[in-house]
Chains A and B, each alone.
Chain A
């Protein structure tokens, strides 16, 4: 009575096992490949741009001569952009999140808003540029100003902030709200004094991630007609400006290798800003997030 044919098991087992080992290494190799690409990308950019990266590069306006050119105007422009995007998108995003989580009834209106937000997140950024061109640049006659760019970017990153704030507010346990109500607080008092303080780390993390998306976006600003090359600084929100990604784009699209090196140096500055912002986000998340 031999129910199991041992020979055939051995014969079939061998290829199955070797396939198992082989595929594991394939999966690992492909995963490592994508990490390797990241390494190559960073190495290339640093080795190309590092020579141009000095104090003079950070303090000079753009120039037709590569050795005199700098990112000062673009750096200041990026700061201006952040100064508009941060308050606008934070107010709108957190307001929306509070409404959806604390006030909205489960009806078709709030469902529609939710579906709309998730679809808005999938709209290509260049389409937001077309919206901004028609509404802010032309209809409201803001021109290629800091304000027009900032408002367009605020709408673009709005879904990111809304979703992050919603999650943060949802994570605040209901006992806190009930305790607050029990002590006689009104709904709005509870939201402002109990829910928001508890949700702030999550909201801030989302806001910083949204901001870092806003300062890296290029396409919508190109569509708005923002200048790629500007030798003066904005003084008010109605002045024209250029930002880091636009300056990098401008240098990248020139044929000379020197300008490509400048572009790489500009990219290092941009990546440095992004790394700093993301580190702050991680720090906030680790340090202040309470677990209930």
Chain B
């Protein structure tokens, strides 16, 4: 009850009516229990987070009963499917993820930033109204479609250019993930740049700057927190991306700096194990949780970092 009246006690008429109603009947039950029911639904999202963390921690602990923490973090081979005892060093999987994300960033950051600058500084309103929805379409395409595109289109083209490229490689999924996250960088950075006040642009133009100089020397620095946050969020998306690498990346975890050979990322390993018939309770079964935990920590740190940047370096005008 206290909750329900808290926001409304400024309306004294309503208070009087409510008091009268209370005297009359017990019809106010809905009024009383609704806040609690709604609070319960709000708690579900918190419970989900707690569930994720607890699940990962518990199953990871079971994994560390069989494999030492030292081996997991420093071991240089990941070969779980051995008859006797597999080796569980996560570095090769992390390496696969890093390679793919790095290629994705190299593709997505320049293109995304260029589109953001074009849309916010050069494009007319009409052009922007056409291009932005198309970028949203690109962002809404399911990742399995991108995976199919990587395997059946990008890989064959790349193999024509680089003959030594294997069918499963790091390059093709990396490029396609880059295409996938470009709309995210473009639209979030464009939002950040549009919110830079026009007075700053006009000031720079009045001093004789060209449009390019305004974009690079005035707008870009003023919007830098939003731009960096968008890039960090996009890379975190790339790290967690699953289907593209599962389809086009292969299943050979390795630590080499080689982009043309088959790799395996953390996400692709989880998919590989889930698809096979690995028995419940085996070390391999628990290993997907340990890998999932590592992935979760990676993305969480990056998301928190992005939030920190937006809060800490936001320029308020």
Contacts and interface: CB of A to CB of B under 8 A. Distances in A.
Interface of A: 16-17, 19-20, 23-24, 26-28, 30-31, 33-35, 37-38, 40-41, 44-45, 48, 91-92, 95-96, 98-100, 102-105, 112-113, 116-120, 122-131, 133-135, 138, 155, 158-159, 162, 178, 181-182, 184, 186-188, 212-213, 216-219, 222-225, 228, 245, 248-249, 252-253, 260, 263-264, 267, 270-271, 274, 278
A4 B44 CA distance: 69
A96 B35 CA distance: 10
A105 B211 contact: no
A222 B147 CA distance: 15
Given A33-B111, A95-B42, A134-B55, A20 B210 contact: yes
A188 B179 contact: no
A95 B148 contact: no
B28 A100 contact: no
B25 interface: no
B56 A130 contact: yes
Contact of A34 (B46, B52, B111, B242): B111
Given A31-B115, A252-B151, A267-B145, A182 B39 contact: no
A223 B274 contact: yes
A216 B148 CA distance: 13
Contacts of B153: 40-41, 44
Nearest to A253: B247
Given A34-B115, A253-B247, A20 B151 contact: no
Contacts of B174: none
Closest 6 CB pairs of A and B: A124-B240, A216-B142, A95-B41, A219-B242, A30-B114, A99-B38
Contact of A158 (B28, B38, B44, B236): B44
Interface in B200-243: 210-213, 233, 236, 239-243
Interface stretch (B65-73, B85-93, B129-137): B129-137
11 contacts: A44-B152, A99-B35, A100-B42, A120-B45, A126-B295, A127-B292, A130-B55, A135-B55, A158-B44, A182-B13, A248-B148
A159 to B, nearest CB: 7
Contacts of A125: 240, 242
Interface stretch (B76-84, B158-166, B299-307): B299-307
Interface string B1-35: 00111111001011001100100000010110011
A119 B147 contact: no
Contacts of A92: 41, 44-45
B216 to A, nearest CB: 8
Contacts of A31: 114-115, 118-119, 131, 186
Given A27-B117, A130-B55, A162 B122 contact: no
Given A27-B115, A123-B52, A158-B48, A216 B38 contact: no
Contact of A252 (B59, B122, B144, B241): B144
B284 interface: no
Interface residues of B, number: 93
B145 A270 contact: yes
Contacts of B304: 119
B115 A181 contact: no
A122 B212 contact: no
A120 B48 contact: yes
A38 B289 CA distance: 35
Contacts of B106: none
A103 B240 contact: no
Contacts of B196: none
A4 to B, nearest CB: 11
Contact of B145 (A99, A134, A182, A271): A271
Given A35-B131, A105-B3, A186-B18, 19 more contacts: A27-B122, A34-B138, A38-B134, A95-B42, A99-B39, A99-B41, A99-B42, A102-B7, A103-B7, A124-B240, A124-B242, A126-B295, A131-B55, A159-B45, A187-B4, A222-B271, A245-B142, A248-B144, A252-B152
Given A124-B296, A271-B145, A155 B48 contact: yes
Contacts of A28: 118, 122
A218 B242 contact: yes
Contacts of B94: none
Nearest to B135: A34
Contacts of A225: 274
Interface in B243-275: 243, 246-247, 267, 270-271, 274-275
A165 to B, nearest CB: 11
Contacts of B240: 123-127
Nearest to A16: B210
A233 B209 CA distance: 66
Interface in B275-292: 275, 280, 288-289, 292
Nearest to B27: A186
Nearest to B175: A37
A122 B300 contact: yes
A41 B52 contact: no
Given A23-B212, A30-B114, A124-B239, A278 B51 contact: no
B143 A124 contact: no
A158 B186 CA distance: 25
